[in-house]
Amino acid sequence: MGMEQSALQSFDLGSGPLMPDSFIMETGQVDLTVYTSKERFDAEREIFGRVWLNIAEASEIPNAGDWVVRDVKVRSSSILIVRGKDMVIRAFHNICSHRGMKLVWDDKGRGGKFSCPYHAWMFDSAGDLRHIPDEGCFPHVDKQASGLTPVRCDTWEGMIFVNLDAQGTQTLADFLGPVAQRLKDVPFGSYPYTARVGSMIDANWKLAIEAQCEAYHVRALHSRTVSKMLSSAENPYVHPLHTEFLGAHRMNSVPRNPDFALSPEKLVQAFSFMNAQQMVIADTGAQEKPEETFASHPDINPIRSNVWGNDQYVLYPHFIFHMSLGGWWLHRFWPIASDKCYWEAVYHFERPQSLRNQFAVQYSLALNRDTLMEDNLALVQQQEVMESGAKKIVQFGEQEALCKHLAAVSEAAANDAEAARTAAQ
Ligand code: FES
Ligand SMILES: [Fe+2]
């Protein structure tokens, strides 16, 4: 399998054009301390404070007044995202204007009215301060100026992004660069049935992303779960079908094993696969497809491979989404410390039409969960021994091109952040 790769492009994270680190792109070698050092983590904390971060989906808050709360712990921030009466999605820092209490303690709700748990100051869905109990005692409070602190917020194809830099001027479209021109009207909405999972992982957030960015590990680490669905006689090491570097971001087309056969030893799996398309492999021909599928969209499976499994997009810094025949899914990896991250995944299926269907969806989720547990448990082992200092570098191969490109973009971004910090001193 050849591994054609597109040319490198410059990218802009709001501080001017940068190029992915050329040594990393050339050799695949990355200084191992990027996963362990406090200095690198500090640079990343700065970067998370000024780039666009994917944080939620517009479909989570379909109606006026619907809201969700998401934490960005690396910035000690909690973000309230709410759909206003005018249907515009806005984001605010989740902190009260009276004495700095966390305003909303739940993670989702509706109604668009927020009463602080401490002394019951009341805010509305536009962030305006509407009511102060015993207001006469606050002669100096400017009510107009005491609304919630806004966070820059924008959406792309139903995905909500925020940018914590109030002074920043880069638009979401500019940040997305070449990705923004693609995937117009992709039928994300055809898969409205969702399931969410998440957990804390004792590993650097970049290690967690890397595990979702290459299929080289599938034969070894996933030999008990999904290996046979992906690894084929033609393409045993699951080389990507297609790779593109898209500014600060990147994409892969991932193959499936066209000869995957249901095993008589795995009756539950066989029953499940006969009743719905699965996430990991692709078409079992079991289910009616929606009119518009990912496979029929011109930007997806761009080389029109007949062994296509899914397309994955890996957006800098922390967001991945995959589109397959059976649905789509996303991951967000939130840095917490150099050796800790919070991982969340959201799966999107077609709405199950029957109990058989429902069972198949649950089976697919369980299989995904088992596979991801294999990844996440491995990451903890990796982080633990990386801290020993015994190895100086990690080395990416050509089939790990997305990891390599992410490392090269991260390196350039971290150096740029470091240079800006030194210049400011
Ligand atoms: S801190 Fe919110 S009402 Fe007092
Ligand atoms: Fe994996």
Domains of the chain by start residue, with CATH: 11-49+190-424 (3.90.380.10), 53-169 (2.102.10.10)
CB 371 within 8 A of CB 225: yes
Strand (E) or helix (H) holding 407: helix 401-424
Report d(CA 157, CA 147) in Å as an integer.
Answer: 29
Distance from residue 99's CA to the centre of ligand 1 (Å) = 5
Q: Which residue is listed with tokens 């649950």?
A: 362
Report d(CA 329, CA 74) in Å as an integer.
Answer: 24
Q: Which of 93, 98, 122 to mutate to test the pocket of ligand 1 (most atoms within 8 A of CB)?
A: 98
Look at residue 325 in the predicted model and tell me its pLDDT.
Answer: 80
pLDDT tens digit at each of 425 positions of the chain: 446 667 889 999 999 999 999 999 999 999 999 999 999 999 999 999 999 999 999 999 999 999 999 999 999 999 999 999 999 999 999 999 999 999 999 999 999 999 999 999 999 999 999 999 999 999 999 999 999 999 999 999 999 999 999 999 999 999 999 999 899 888 898 888 899 999 999 999 999 999 999 999 999 999 888 888 889 999 999 999 999 999 999 999 999 888 887 777 887 787 777 766 555 544 444 445 555 678 788 899 999 999 999 999 999 999 999 998 878 999 999 999 999 999 999 999 888 888 888 888 888 888 888 888 999 999 999 999 999 999 999 999 999 999 999 999 999 999 999 888 888 88
Residue 103 alpha carbon, nearest atom of ligand 1: 2
The residue among 80, 59, 95, 240 whose CA lies nearest residue 162 is: 80
Nearest ligand to the CA atom of 131 = 1
Residue 99 alpha carbon, nearest atom of ligand 1: 1
Report d(CA 386, CA 232) in Å as an integer.
Answer: 32
Q: Whose CA is nearest to atom 3 of ligand 1?
A: 119
317 prior amide bond cis, ω within 30: yes
Q: Which of 99, 131, 138, 148 to mutate to test the pocket of ligand 1 (most atoms within 8 A of CB)?
A: 99
Report d(CA 116, CA 129) in Å as an integer.
Answer: 11
Distance from residue 46's CA to the centre of ligand 1 (Å) = 29
CB 56 within 8 A of CB 81: yes
Look at residue 313 in the predicted model and tell me its pLDDT.
Answer: 98
Report d(CA 211, CA 374) in Å as an integer.
Answer: 10
Angle at 114 (CA atoms; ends 88, 105), nearest 5 degrees = 110
Q: Encode 331-368: b = buried (16+ Cβ within 10 Å), e = exposed.
A: bbbbbbebbbbbbebbbbbbebeeebbbbbbebbbebb
Nearest ligand to the CA atom of 102 = 1
Look at residue 284 in the predicted model and tell me its pLDDT.
Answer: 46
Nearest ligand to the CA atom of 375 = 2
Counting Cβ atoms within 10 Å, is residue 207 exposed (0-12), middle (13-18) or buried (19+)?
A: buried
Nearest ligand to the CA atom of 101 = 1
Look at residue 378 in the predicted model and tell me its pLDDT.
Answer: 97
3-state helix/strand/coil string of 286-308? CCCCCCCCHHHCCCCCCCCCCCE
Look at residue 398 in the predicted model and tell me its pLDDT.
Answer: 95
Q: Which of 116, 122, 134, 146 to mutate to test the pocket of ligand 1 (most atoms within 8 A of CB)?
A: 116
CB atoms closer than 10 angstroms to residue 125: 22
Nearest ligand to the CA atom of 225 = 2
Look at residue 276 in the predicted model and tell me its pLDDT.
Answer: 61
How is 230-296 classified by DSSP, letter by letter?
H--SSSTT---SEEEEETTEEEEEEE--TT----TT-HHHHHHHTTS--SSS---S-SPPPSS-GGG
* Residues near ligand 1 (Cβ within 6 A): 96, 98-99, 101, 116, 118-121
Residue 96 alpha carbon, nearest atom of ligand 1: 2
Distance from residue 105's CA to the centre of ligand 1 (Å) = 13
Look at residue 277 in the predicted model and tell me its pLDDT.
Answer: 58
Distance from residue 31's CA to the centre of ligand 1 (Å) = 47
Distance from residue 225's CA to the centre of ligand 2 (Å) = 10
Residue 101 alpha carbon, nearest atom of ligand 1: 1
In angstroms, the first-to-last Cα distance of the chain is 50
Look at residue 91 in the predicted model and tell me its pLDDT.
Answer: 98
Q: Whose CA is nearest to atom 4 of ligand 1?
A: 119
Three-class SS state of 317: coil
Look at residue 168 in the predicted model and tell me its pLDDT.
Answer: 95
